[in-house]
């Protein structure tokens, strides 16, 4: 990591901690215009959010500081989406995403939605506190082959097991793939399979690749070999 990148991360962290939302967004926007918004998000924003998330988990940040971090991320992701319109060809998917029952930490899910849309996926975002059956109901309704479920805490991540059970109960194992993610799964990757997930990734930037893989796996399960 260069000294410039390290300095930018430190500046962004300070802006967020001091509730300087406009300055934080301006810093990221300047980097986005100069080097691309993917670079600004991946190299500057995401490491800072990770640090903030770790401090949050240790009760070393206030609710207001966490709120500012979320708003800065939303602001810059909107700018990123506006700077990179979706491909003109027919969208991939649809896929269904949401935060599992009792989970209200939307930032990671919103980032995933932005990166999936930018990669050409049609995303059905169910929002926060989604019941396991609601994920599967919607996947059946729109013929989605991938469900993405997010959870921040271990207590809420445990509810992902019920999405797996619902898929199995309805005979959709293999046909509908289950992607799982969130802070607790990043910290404990072994949870992904323990909770019944078919795949996971470390950050939102990697989400399109994961969904490509899982969609192709679903098609292969049914004897198909091409993406729609």
Strand order across the 92-99 sheet? 121-125, 92-99, 146-150, 177-181
Q: Which pLDDT belongs to residue 227?
A: 45
pLDDT category at 159 given cuts 50, 70, 90 is very high
User: In whole numbers, what is the pLDDT of the chain averaged over residues?
Assistant: 88
Q: Which pLDDT belongs to residue 137?
A: 98
pLDDT category at 224 given cuts 50, 70, 90 is low
> For residues 176 and 136, is the Cβ–Cβ distance under 8 A?
yes
Q: Which residues pair with 180 in a beta bridge?
A: 149
Q: Which pLDDT belongs to residue 148?
A: 97
Does the pLDDT of residue 225 top 80, yes or no?
Answer: no
Mean pLDDT within 125-148: 97
Interatomic CA distance for residues 171 and 122, integer angstroms: 24
Check residues 101 and 82 and name the one with the higher pLDDT.
Answer: 101
Q: Write the burial class of residue 185 (CB in 10 Å: 0-12 exposed, 13-18 middle, 19+ buried).
A: buried
Q: What is the pLDDT of residues 70-99, one digit of tens each?
A: 788 878 877 887 776 666 667 898 999 999
């Amino acid at each position: 990591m260069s000294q410039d990148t390290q300095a930018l991360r430190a500046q962004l962290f300070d802006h967020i901690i001091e509730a300087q939302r406009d300055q934080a967004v301006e810093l990221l926007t300047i980097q986005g215009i100069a080097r691309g918004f993917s670079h600004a998000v991946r190299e500057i924003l995401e490491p800072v959010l990770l640090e903030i998330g770790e401090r949050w988990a240790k009760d070393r940040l206030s609710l207001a500081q966490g709120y500012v971090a979320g708003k800065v991320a939303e602001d810059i992701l909107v700018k990123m989406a506006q700077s990179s319109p979706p491909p003109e060809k027919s969208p991939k998917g649809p896929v269904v995403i949401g935060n599992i029952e009792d989970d209200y930490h939307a930032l990671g899910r919103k980032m995933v939605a932005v990166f999936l849309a930018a990669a050409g996926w049609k995303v059905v975002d169910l929002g926060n506190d989604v019941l396991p059956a609601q994920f599967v109901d919607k996947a059946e309704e729109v013929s989605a082959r991938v469900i993405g479920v997010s959870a921040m805490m271990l207590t809420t991540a445990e509810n992902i097991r019920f999405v797996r059970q619902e898929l199995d109960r309805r005979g959709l194992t293999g046909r509908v793939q289950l992607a799982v993610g969130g802070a607790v799964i990043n910290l404990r990757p072994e949870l992904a399979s323990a909770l019944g997930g078919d795949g996971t990734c470390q950050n939102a930037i990697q989400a399109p690749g994961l969904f490509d893989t899982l969609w192709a796996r679903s098609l292969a399960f049914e004897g198909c070999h091409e993406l729609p």
